[in-house]
Amino acid sequence: MASRIEDYALLGDCETAALVSRDGSIDWLCWPRFDSAACFAALLGGPEHGRWRIAPVDAGATSTRRYRGHTLILETTFAAADGAVTVVDFMPLRGPMSDLVRIVRGRRGRVAMRSELLLRFNYGSSIPWVTRIDGGALRAIAGPDMVILRSSVPLRGEGLSTVGEFSIGAGETACFVMTYGPSHLPAPSGVDAEKALVDTEAFWEGWAARCSYRGEWRDPVMRSLVTLKALTYRPTGGIVAAPTTSLPEQPGGPRNWDYRFCWLRDATLTLLALMDAGYTEEAQAWREWLLRAVAGHPADLQIMYGLAGERHLMEWEVSWLPGYEQSRPVRVGNAAHGQLQIDVFGEVLDALHHARRHGLTGVDGWNLQKALVGYLETVWDRPDRGIWEVRGADQHFTHSKVMAWVALDRAIKTAELYTLDGPLDRWRSLREQIHSAVCENGFNTSVNSFVQAYGSTQLDASLLQIPLVGFLPPEDPRVVGTITAIEQRLVSDGLVYRYDSELTDDGLPAGEGAFLACSFWLADNLALIGRRKDARRLFEHLLGLCNDVGLLAEEYDPGARRMTGNFPQAFSHVALVDTALNLSARSEARGRPAEQRAAVGLEDG
C-alpha cells in the first residue's frame, strides 16, 4: 500500500531533494537537480520504479521520527521486538558532487536490519549496470548517470536489486554514502559520513540562527523557513514550487502537475517572508533570479521558469509510471508556462517595489519595470487564464484585473518614492480606470461579493487578496461581503476551497482538496477586519494540519483527512510564515501595511 503524502519527510542539499517515508524508504529523488529525471520514482509507482529502504527485518517494528533541531537531518527511530535503532538521513550541502548519507545507530538490544536498493534512472525506466570498483564500492551506470554506493556493511546482488543484511547492537553504527556523478567522469570519492553529519548540522543550525522571528510560533515558522531554503536552487537563487511532480489534487484523478519550476506569482510573498525573518541574502538572490528570468521583451513574460530561468518547459507524459495511487497521467514539464496570466505583471512589479523599499540592491530593474508596465497597458483588458491556470477558455478574471491595478500602483509608488522617470499622469489615469472597471464589473450585488470573473456569480478565494494588496480597505462593505460569502460557500471544516465547483455526495467540492494558501489568506483577512480571535483559531487549526515533521502539501482533503497535491509546497509554507508574522505582536506593533501582500497561483488544469 502506498504511503500517504503526509507520511513523507524532506531531505535536500539546496540543489535537489529526496522524500523518505515513515518506513525508511526513499521513494523520490531527482539527480542532480530538482528537475532532473528521478532515479527513485516509487512515489509515482511501486518499488520496481526505484527506491532505497533501510529498516528492521521485523515487520512489526514501529517508527517515530523528527528533524534534529532546525536542520534537514531526519532521525527515524524504529522499535522492534529485539531492540531499537535510529536511521539518520541527510544530504550534505553540495560540494563537487551530490551525496545522500544514511547512518544506522543502535539504541538498545540487537536489531536485524535490511537495506534494499533499487536504482532506476529516467523515472524508473532504466535499470543500471552495477559493478564493483576499487575499495568494494558499487558503481551503477545507465546513460549519462552514475551513482556510487559505499557501505560499511556487505552488499550483494539479489535479482535486480542490491541488498545488505546486518544487525546493529546498542552503540554500534553502520554507514551508507551514495554519491551522484556524470557517467563519463571518474567515480567521485564521496564524503566521510560522520564528518558530513557534523558539518551539515552546523550549516543548518547556523542558518537557522540568523532568523529574526522570536514570536510564539517560532518552531513552525522555522520549519517552514528551513523548507523554503531547501527548495532554493543555490546556484541561481530560484525557488521551486515543490520538489515533486504529479502528486494528485485528488487521488485517482487527472489533476497531476509538475511543480519543479519557479513561479513568478510566488515572488512578493517569498521576498517579504525572507526579509521579515532576517534572510536578506536569500531574498536578494531571489530578486536577482527574478530580474534575470523576466529580462527580454515584455510580450515574452512567462508565469514560470526553470531553475536557471529556462523558458521551454515542454510537457509530456511518463506512460510507464502508473501514478500515485493510480493517478494518471504522470507529467513532466508544464504546458501552463505558455499561458497569458495578466496577474503576474502585478506580482513582479509588487515584488520589485518592495525589494527596493527593503534596500535590496543589484541590477537596476527600473527600465525593465517601465517596459513591463508599457506592455501591460496594451493587454490588461484582455481575457486570460487567471491565477488558477485553467486549461479552458480565457475569461475576464477579476483577480487578474486587480493585479493589473497592483502593477500600475507599485510602478507609480516606486517612481514617486525614488524620483524615477515615467509617464506618471498616464499611469495614474489607467490605474483609476482599472479600479473603476473592477468595482463595476467584478462585484455582484446579488451575492454581495466580488466574483471570479466579470458577469459570473461564482466565488473565488483569490479575491481574498483584494484587501491584502491594498486594492480596497478591509472595512469596505464589499470586502466584508466577499469574506462573508467565501466563509459561507467555500469553507469546509475551516478550510478554504479555491472556487465554486460541482459538489460530491458529502457536500464537498469535487476534484480537489481545500487550498492551504487560501486558508491562510482567510486568516489574514479575518485579522484585518478585527476578528483576531477567529483569525488565530483558524491559524492554529492550519498548524495542526502539518505532518509529524512540520510539512504541508498544496491542499488538504477534509473528508479523507489527508494531504493532496505536490509536497512539500513552498507557498503553503510561505503563507504560514506570513500569517504568523501578521498575527504576532511584533507584526502588529510594526504596523505592516496591507499592501505588503500579494497573491500566489497554482494550477487548476
What's the CATH code of the domain at 19? 2.70.98.10
Do 188 and 243 lie in one domain? The reply is no
In a domain, 65, yes or no: yes
Tell me the C-alpha distance between 61 and 55, whole Å. Answer: 9
In a domain, 604, yes or no: no
Do 259 and 171 lie in one domain? The reply is no
In a domain, 210, yes or no: no
pLDDT category at 596 given cuts 50, 70, 90 is: very low
Do 127 and 154 lie in one domain? The reply is yes
Tell me the C-alpha distance between 249 and 557, whole Å. Answer: 9
Tell me the C-alpha distance between 11 and 92, whole Å. Answer: 10
Q: Exposed, middle or buried: residue 312 (CB in 10 Å: 0-12, 13-18, 19+)?
A: exposed
C-alpha to C-alpha distances, 46 to 26, 119, 258, 338, nearest whole angstrom? 12, 12, 19, 33
Strands 495-496 and 25-30: unpaired
Do 421 and 284 lie in one domain? The reply is yes
Do 416 and 286 lie in one domain? The reply is yes
Do 466 and 363 lie in one domain? The reply is yes
Tell me the C-alpha distance between 545 and 573, whole Å. Answer: 12
Contact 529, 479 (CB under 8 A): yes
- Quote the mean pLDDT of the chain: 92
Which has the higher per-residue pLDDT, 287 or 546? 546
Position 599 scores a pLDDT of 35
Residue where one domain finishes, among candidates 131, 166, 200: 200
Check whether 502 has a pLDDT greater than 80.
no
What percent of the chain has pLDDT above 70? 94
Position 585 scores a pLDDT of 52
Q: CA Rg, the chain, in Å? A: 24
Dihedral over alpha carbons 395, 396, 402, 406 (to 10 degrees) = 80
Contact 331, 245 (CB under 8 A): yes
Position 602 scores a pLDDT of 39
In a domain, 602, yes or no: no
Do 191 and 244 lie in one domain? The reply is no
pLDDT category at 2 given cuts 50, 70, 90 is: confident
Do 315 and 457 lie in one domain? The reply is yes
Domain containing 585: what range?
Answer: 216-596
In a domain, 354, yes or no: yes
Q: How many CA atoms lie within 13 A of 90 on its CB side?
A: 30
Position 514 scores a pLDDT of 95
Do 407 and 553 lie in one domain? The reply is yes
Query: Could you report the per-residue pLDDT of 266-275, keeping only the tens digit for each?
Result: 888 898 899 9
In a domain, 605, yes or no: no
Residue where one domain finishes, among candidates 155, 175, 200: 200
Contact 461, 442 (CB under 8 A): no
Quote the number of domains for the chain: 2
Do 169 and 240 lie in one domain? The reply is no
Position 19 scores a pLDDT of 98
Q: What is the mean pLDDT of residues 154-168?
A: 95
Do 188 and 227 lie in one domain? The reply is no
Check whether 551 has a pLDDT greater than 90.
yes
In a domain, 294, yes or no: yes
In a domain, 208, yes or no: no
Do 184 and 226 lie in one domain? The reply is no
Count of other CB atoms within 10 angstroms of residue 487: 15
pLDDT category at 600 given cuts 50, 70, 90 is: very low
Residue where one domain finishes, among candidates 143, 174, 200: 200
CATH of the domain at 409: 1.50.10.10
Tell me the C-alpha distance between 201 and 104, whole Å. Answer: 17
Query: Could you report the per-residue pLDDT of 225-240, keeping only the tens digit for each?
Result: 999 999 999 999 999 9
Q: Can you read off the three cell numbers belonging to residue 446?
A: 446579488
pTM for this entry: 0.94
